[in-house]
Amino acid sequence: MNWMIDTNVILDVLLKREHFFETSSAVLRQCENREVQGYVSASAVTDIFYLTRKALGSIDETYRLIDALLNTVRVLTVTNEDVLNALQMKARDFEDCLLATCAKSNRCEGIVTRNKKDFLSFDIPLFTPEEFLERK
């Protein structure tokens, strides 16, 4: 099963965010153990890198964390068609729209996110980390 992992779930783990680290980490552990295939979009990787480097203040540590992340999840290419489809939707949050468009075009089962409300208009199944861990 293929799942798009939202940026906020990745950042919960990389930045060890209180209250969210445990469940988000369990999601990534399922990806790491190959129980499911987790994906991030190519465009999300740059955001994750930037936000992690800014929060940690260390480019070396950021590279180490991104390397570990990319051994856990795979990167989906954002195509020209994905961008055009997202633009046509004129969504309030283009980044979320592009992530959802990419997930749908790559036939992901859904998106794991802490912010389901940000994706409600994109017609794709949404799971919080807690809901994702309870599924089956």
User: What would the pLDDT profile of 34-66 be if each residue is shown by its tens digit?
Assistant: 999 999 999 899 999 999 999 999 999 999 999
**pLDDT of amino acid 93:** 87
Contact 103, 111 (CB under 8 A): yes
Model-level pTM?
0.93
Output the six-digit token pair for 53.
Answer: 């480097």
pLDDT band at 73 (very low <50, low <70, confident <90, very high): very high
User: Distance between terminal CA atoms of the chain?
Assistant: 11
Average pLDDT over residues 96-102: 93
Residue 97 near residue 91 (C-beta atoms within 8 A): yes
What is the band of 136 on the pLDDT scale with cuts at 50, 70, 90? low
